[in-house]
């Protein structure tokens, strides 16, 4: 996804579009070459997933790791990279997770007039801005795409989109 597509995704919440149902594949934030997943992970026992304390790495059917934010988020702890012996993931390649995060106005309770701060509290970056205690939006300058806010939303109003 290029920057124009990303902007379209992020700004579409303003237009109140439907929840994003597109399947997204979000990789752990330590890879260098995307093709390494296909080359190396097939023959690996998936220690990255085993050692992720947040349990957000799942090994897909193709045996490559992907992130899920359905229960928790990424602390950027480096454990998955340290565990990866084939060096698909390496600490030196640490980066912001390749995912856009947005709040869907049509399903967000706060945008519908009900006071709710469920997403604000878990955000350690203070990256969710409220206008007069309502209408939350993600501050893209601050958001690290950690995903911690996603599972805390009672109305499943926070979407992700992989940027790769």
Which stretches of the chain bind ligand SF4, using CB under 6 A?
Answer: 28, 40-41, 44, 46-48, 52, 54, 56-57, 65, 74-80, 83-84, 86, 88-89, 101, 122-123, 125, 127-128, 138, 143-149
Question: Nearest distance from residue 15's CB to ligand SF4, in Å?
Answer: 20
Task: Tell which residue, 132, 139, 136, has the closest CA to residue 111.
Answer: 136
Question: Nearest distance from residue 2's CB to ligand SF4, in Å?
Answer: 21
Q: Which is it for strands 134-138 and 128-131: parallel, antiparallel or unpaired?
A: antiparallel
Closer residue to ligand SF4 in complex, CB, 8/46: 46
Question: Nearest distance from residue 105's CB to ligand SF4, in Å?
Answer: 15
Closer residue to ligand SF4 in complex, CB, 57/157: 57
Task: Please check whether residue 95 is in contact with residue 30, taking contact to mean a CB–CB distance below 8 angstroms.
Answer: yes
Question: Nearest distance from residue 13's CB to ligand SF4, in Å?
Answer: 13
Question: Nearest distance from residue 17's CB to ligand SF4, in Å?
Answer: 19
Task: Please check whether residue 98 is in contact with residue 163, taking contact to mean a CB–CB distance below 8 angstroms.
Answer: yes
Question: If DSSP codes are grouped into helix, strand and coil, which group holds residue 89?
Answer: strand
Closer residue to ligand SF4 in complex, CB, 17/78: 78
Query: Which two three-digit tokens encode residue 45?
Result: 């026992």
Buried b (16+ CB within 10 A) or exposed e, 85-119: eeebbeeeeeeebbbbbbbbbebbbbbeeeebebb
Closer residue to ligand SF4 in complex, CB, 53/106: 53
């Amino acid at each position: 996804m290029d920057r124009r597509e990303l902007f379209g995704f992020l700004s579409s919440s303003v237009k109140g579009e439907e929840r994003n149902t597109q399947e997204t594949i979000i990789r752990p934030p330590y890879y260098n070459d995307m093709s390494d997943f296909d080359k190396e992970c097939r023959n690996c026992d998936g220690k990255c997933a085993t050692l992720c304390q947040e349990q957000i790495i799942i090994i897909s059917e193709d045996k490559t790791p992907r992130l899920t934010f359905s229960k928790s988020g990424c602390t950027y702890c480096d454990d998955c990279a340290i565990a990866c012996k084939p060096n698909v993931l390496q600490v030196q390649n640490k980066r912001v997770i390749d995912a856009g995060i947005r709040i869907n106005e049509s399903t967000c309770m706060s945008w519908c007039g009900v006071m709710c701060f469920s997403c604000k509290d878990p955000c350690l970056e203070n990256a969710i801005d409220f206008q007069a205690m309502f209408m939350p939006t993600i501050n893209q300058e601050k958001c690290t795409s950690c995903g911690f806010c996603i599972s805390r939303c009672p109305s499943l109003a926070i979407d992700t989109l992989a940027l790769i």
